[in-house]
Structure 1
Amino acid sequence: MDLAFLHPLYEHPGPWASVYVDTSRHAEDTPHELRLTAQAMARELSGQGADEATSRAVESAIEDLRHSPDPHGRALFARAGKVVLDPCLARRPPGGSRAVWAPLPRMAPLLDLAGEDPVAIVAYVDRRGADFELRRAPARQRAGAVVRQQWPLRRTSSLDWSERHFQLKVENAWEHNAAEIADALSVSQDEAAADLLVLVGDERERREVRGRLPKRLQDRVAEAAHGAGSRLLDEDVERIRAAHVRRRVEAGLDRFRAARAPDAEGRTGAAEGLPALVAAAREHRIEELLVRPEGPDLHREVWIGEDPDQLAVRRTELRILGEQHSWAARADDALIRSAAAADATALSTAPVTAATEEDVPAGGLGAVLRWR
């Protein structure tokens, strides 16, 4: 996950309200259910010490979701009576809605619930042209179309053409259209920064378009087994998106495992264990933070100051570093704040089940470093 969108959260001091709202249930009484959820989350925050203005802001924001309920859920991050960030979720929060009042925004769950949400362009291809659809949780939208070249693409009753002339004309027209579709699909990928291109249509038509896409896009292309109108097409697309997520996570774990290997001078390009991670965060050396959701180190206590690089395993360390004010915070949230400030990325390893404990960061937190 690119953490740049989190910068507004770290421009202001805490404490913060972090609320994960489950909106996956859709029924006639959904507005009423959301109102009850809003009230419950406000009470929960107040019980944890949140100020009244922030509790009211969260309650109002949840009630407003009744006008456009998300398929899965919404995360809300608020302070000082204002909701600062409210990203949609790609998956429903496990265990239902929950709220936390803490010195830092409760960000780690967002890596699982919204972090790996690949953008896919689904291209419905046939000999008449193509329609493009942009898909990402929780929505889909039309993303353009290519209209066929205007001459016959099927055999006609014309007596002016020989059979061979007609067939060549048809093939030339289709080759032209396949090239036009590939060009338009390439442009759409650039504009949407799409992770995946999913081709839907007859096998030959998919093959013709795929063969005309630039080499740089070939590893992004997948083909759906079912055609437009099939009730199984949506399942195809979701399987393709899920497989893409698993490959990305596996690649991240491969980078981490490779970085563990020491160089000729005994230095490694990876860090794991809280002391090593905290030291790397203070030096802005984290390139990618890896988080295993069930890891025991995630909820361990560290100490933070006002700035993202002011963190320590022990409170006395911050005082030695010259920080006069400090607060206890969860390790995962403190490291995510530091990673975001250093323009690093973060990755949840949840989509991949490791074969052994050695395959994942010890304690559930690890990092690939910018230099050894």
Structure 2
Amino acid sequence: MELTRLRPLLEHPGPMATVYLENRPPGEDAGTQSRLRWQAVRERLEADGATLPALAALDSALRQDPVGEIQADGRVLVACDDGVLLDEHWDASLGSGDAGYWSDAPQLDRYVREALTAVRVLVAVTDQQGARVRQEILGELVTDGTEPAAEQQFSAAGSTVEGSGGGRVHKARRGYLSHKHNQRRADEVVHQNAADVAEHLAVAAGRFRPDALVLAGTVQGRTAVRAELPEHLARISVDADRGGVQDDAAEAALAEQIDEIAEALRSRRLDADTDAFELARSQGLTVRGPGAVADAARQGAVSTVVLGHEAADGPTGDALAASSACGAEVKLADLPEGDYADGRRGIAAVLRFAVPTA
């Protein structure tokens, strides 16, 4: 994840309030519970010195929610005297807790950590006539304007789900008049339809930047489309052999397999990023803790900010802001938390070059 997408927020003049409200199972009193939870966080912010204009902006933003939406979806907000700077659903797991911070820079490590679990999946439910294509973002509520699970009816002609091959697809039975000619024509139709689907997927992937392309639907349809994929999509393609879109049960089976594919991708990504951190650590090119990361970033040395699964011991806003300014990216890894009990848990950095830090 590139920190530059958050740079305008990270570099906005402070001080500012950062608020996290976790998602919880909604009940009959969801509206009351949401108000009470916000009131408790508000009181903590006020005690920490939050200004009335910033608190009023948060009050206004949260009052506009439908009853129970915060309870069901969770929320992250950042506000200063100028108004609300960030207002997003926050798909945090139950138990992460509500929190409020008043500081010079927004405290976005929890928000970024959640976003790093996201897997972007382009799904194509294929048959020999064409495909239904949709985009899904699993593990993150969208913050870049892309609609999750936005389904498109694909067609080269733009009006039906069929590809542009036309004609009949099923091969002729033996004994059928002009058997070889009709069989060859059927093969040509399947090939053209698959090529149209593959072309559409290449365009969609260029906009959506998926981590995986899931090919679902009939075996014949998947096989034909896979054969037409450009190399960069073939490398990230995965077959889903369960379910489809024909009924609710098929949709549920497909969704379950897509979740399994996404979880496997998360695990591989975490392992790779952890290995990369450990390699840099063995070379003396890492620092640990919010202060050291911020210090190294101000010297232009931070290549990658690395967040652990545990929350950092102290505020991370300055570290993320300084790292954003020097063009760093951010990743999630299994940090060796037990080795760092002196206030350096939860955040680290891989360096471009070694620098002295406090």
TM score, norm. by length of structure 2 = 0.80
Contact 1:291–1:364, Cα closer than 8 Å, also in 2: yes
Aligned: 1:48 with 2:48 = yes
Distance across 2 between alignment mates of 1:46 and 1:237: 44
Shift, 1:170, TM fit: 1.4
Which sits farther off after the overlay, 236-245 or 31-40? 31-40
Match of 1:182 among 177, 181, 198: 198
Shift, 1:283, TM fit: 0.8
Contact 1:290–1:348, Cα closer than 8 Å, also in 2: yes
Residue in structure 2 matched with residue 319 of structure 1 by the alignment:
none
Residue in structure 2 matched with residue 308 of structure 1 by the alignment:
none
Residue in structure 1 matched with residue 87 of structure 2 by the alignment:
86
Contact 1:90–1:117, Cα closer than 8 Å, also in 2: no
From the superposition, tell whether residues 58 and 115 of structure 1 become closer, same or farther in structure 2 (CA, over 3 Å).
farther
Letter in 2 for 1:52: L
Contact 2:124–2:133, Cα closer than 8 Å, also in 1: yes
Shift, 1:337, TM fit: 1.6
Contact 1:122–1:197, Cα closer than 8 Å, also in 2: yes
Contact 1:125–1:205, Cα closer than 8 Å, also in 2: yes
Give 5+ residue unaligned stretches, structure 1: 263-267, 301-329
Local SS of the residue matching 1:243: helix
From the superposition, tell whether residues 23 and 257 of structure 1 become closer, same or farther in structure 2 (CA, over 3 Å).
closer
Aligned: 1:75 with 2:49 = no
Shift, 1:234, TM fit: 1.4
Distance across 2 between alignment mates of 1:190 and 1:237: 21
Local SS of the residue matching 1:227: coil
1:270-349 alignment runs, 5 A limit: 270-272=286-288, 277-294=293-310, 298-300=312-314, 330=315, 332-349=316-333
Aligned: 1:236 with 2:257 = yes
Residue in structure 1 matched with residue 215 of structure 2 by the alignment:
199
Which sits farther off after the overlay, 60-69 or 194-203? 60-69
Local SS of the residue matching 2:272: helix
Give 5+ residue unaligned stretches, structure 2: 142-147, 156-161
Contact 2:22–2:92, Cα closer than 8 Å, also in 1: no
From the superposition, tell whether residues 333 and 355 of structure 1 become closer, same or farther in structure 2 (CA, over 3 Å).
closer
Contact 1:125–1:201, Cα closer than 8 Å, also in 2: yes
Distance across 1 between alignment mates of 2:190 and 2:345: 56
Distance across 2 between alignment mates of 1:249 and 1:234: 22
Give RMSD over aligned pairs: 3.1
From the superposition, tell whether residues 357 and 133 of structure 1 become closer, same or farther in structure 2 (CA, over 3 Å).
farther
What CA deviation, in whole Å up to 9, does each residue of 1:228-248 have, x standing for no partner? 142222121122222222222
Shift, 1:27, TM fit: 5.6
Contact 1:43–1:55, Cα closer than 8 Å, also in 2: no
Letter in 2 for 1:61: A
Distance across 2 between alignment mates of 1:180 and 1:354: 48
Letter in 2 for 1:75: V
From the superposition, tell whether residues 337 and 44 of structure 1 become closer, same or farther in structure 2 (CA, over 3 Å).
same
Aligned: 1:111 with 2:112 = yes
Residue in structure 2 matched with residue 142 of structure 1 by the alignment:
151
Distance across 2 between alignment mates of 1:259 and 1:353: 12
How many residues get paired? 329
From the superposition, tell whether residues 244 and 61 of structure 1 become closer, same or farther in structure 2 (CA, over 3 Å).
same
TM score, norm. by length of structure 1 = 0.77
Residue in structure 1 matched with residue 225 of structure 2 by the alignment:
209
Letter in 2 for 1:100: Y
1:354-365 alignment runs, 5 A limit: 363-365=345-347
Residue in structure 2 matched with residue 253 of structure 1 by the alignment:
274
Local SS of the residue matching 1:99: strand
Letter in 1 for 2:308: R
From the superposition, tell whether residues 199 and 31 of structure 1 become closer, same or farther in structure 2 (CA, over 3 Å).
farther
Shift, 1:108, TM fit: 1.2
From the superposition, tell whether residues 23 and 122 of structure 1 become closer, same or farther in structure 2 (CA, over 3 Å).
same
Local SS of the residue matching 1:232: helix
Residue in structure 2 matched with residue 322 of structure 1 by the alignment:
none
Local SS of the residue matching 1:86: strand
Contact 1:17–1:79, Cα closer than 8 Å, also in 2: yes
Contact 2:125–2:216, Cα closer than 8 Å, also in 1: yes
Shift, 1:354, TM fit: 7.4
Distance across 1 between alignment mates of 2:78 and 2:337: 35
Residue in structure 2 matched with residue 17 of structure 1 by the alignment:
17
Match of 1:366 among 333, 340, 348: 348
Contact 2:18–2:102, Cα closer than 8 Å, also in 1: yes
Local SS of the residue matching 1:66: coil
Contact 2:105–2:318, Cα closer than 8 Å, also in 1: yes
Letter in 2 for 1:123: A
Shift, 1:83, TM fit: 0.8
Letter in 1 for 2:348: G
Q: Return structure 1 stretches of 4+ with deviation > 6 angstroms.
A: 353-358
Distance across 2 between alignment mates of 1:182 and 1:130: 10
Distance across 1 between alignment mates of 2:199 and 2:116: 30
Distance across 1 between alignment mates of 2:8 and 2:189: 52
